[in-house]
Structure 1
Amino acid sequence: MLDHDDRSRDLITRVFDGADEGLTRDDVLDNITLYWLTNTAVSSARLYWESKLAFFQPKGVELPMGVSAFPDEIYTAPESWARKAYPKLIHYKRLSKGGHFAAWEQPQVLAEELRGTFRPLR
């Protein structure tokens, strides 16, 4: 995870410089330990290695969808692309913080986004 991309590495390593937002040292250690003990680091990267799909080609997903555009993501999806990829897009929001590991870095923000996205479907 440290070498996933430069921004993710910065977000992960900043906890060792005393940053008090986002990840903690225990978060990093727990995650590395989980991959190490279950021997799943290679298989988790396999999707990236073996994918032959046009990654950024809109797929036309016909389910209600929401997009939370995190600014530190490797590629932050613009709303115009999201509307092509997801014809039934019910929520789009550009957020002020978070990146590729948003569920790990900003769990409260992501939880609020999920609730807000699917609240109209209840």
Structure 2
Amino acid sequence: MADFDRSYRAVYRYARVSPQKARRIMDTVRGRQVDEALAVLKGLPHRPARMIEKAIASALANAQDRQDMDPSELHVMTAIVDEGPRMKRLRPICRGMATIIQKRMSHLTVVLQPR
């Protein structure tokens, strides 16, 4: 079986968090074992940690669904945060003008592979 056949992937699209904030959290779990990564994410108070935790759990469920994989063998090999679309909102400012507030979204991609 080739190596690319044993990779398990999950994508959390349109996550309502800015890519900059999500990348900081994603960098902490990249390269770790799945059990260790989930434990680290549970201890973090940041909102993107819940979203990344959900993506890793989904990739782990994909691995267990496709074949009976031991979670201790899997590592977070690829963890990418891509920028999604932006919601643009107007905020009134002085003298009848308005400024644009951009609410950013992210696409979180997690790939698990055995070492």
User: What TM-score bracket applies, with the shorter chain setting the length?
Assistant: under 0.3
TM-score, length of structure 1 as denominator length: 0.26
Indicate the structure (1 or 2) with the bigger Cα radius of gyration. Answer: 2
Higher share of residues assigned helix: 1
| Larger RCO (CA under 8 A, 6+ residues apart) | 2
TM-score by length of structure 2 reads 0.27
